Amino acid sequence: MVCMGNICRSPTAEGVLRARLAAAGMADRVRIDSAGTHAYHVGEPPDERSQAHAARRGYDLSTQRARAVHDDDFERFDLLLAMDWDNLALLQERCPPAAQRKLKRLMEFSREGGSEVVPDPYYGGAAGFDQVLDLVEAACDGLIEHLARTPGRE
């Protein structure tokens, strides 16, 4: 999961996916992490508002710490899921040609459609953080369905 600073959208997506994979009995077959395209907040916990909104829905983000995308991420992971078009473009610039197929937007997996990106919640106030959760939950459910159809994949 990749956003710009790794303190709101991508840690939210990581937390939601972890919880939903555990509920689906798939936690041990998928490696999950989140990162930022910029190293603005390395080592910091997710934004307090992200944590609070996630906690209200039963997701714990408190143990996560921000990190920047590493070059080895393009090898380690089968999918690198960007939260928006800008994050995707930054990943595409950095990604080796052989790994470009691994780059997607998280919302490509959404079962509900309606949004191509997970918007930055800071511009929407409290409602923005809830909107992020709504979008991420729908996309994670679709991603889990995709993963269930692709045995042996991480």
Active site amino acids: 3, 9, 120
Burial class (CB in 10 A: 0-12, 13-18, 19+), 9: buried
Tokens of 45: 């916990």
Task: DSSP letter for 8, please.
Answer: S
Dihedral sign computed on CA atoms, order 123, 128, 104, 81: positive
Tokens of 19: 């919880």
User: Within 13 Å and on the Cβ side, how many CA atoms surround 75?
Assistant: 3
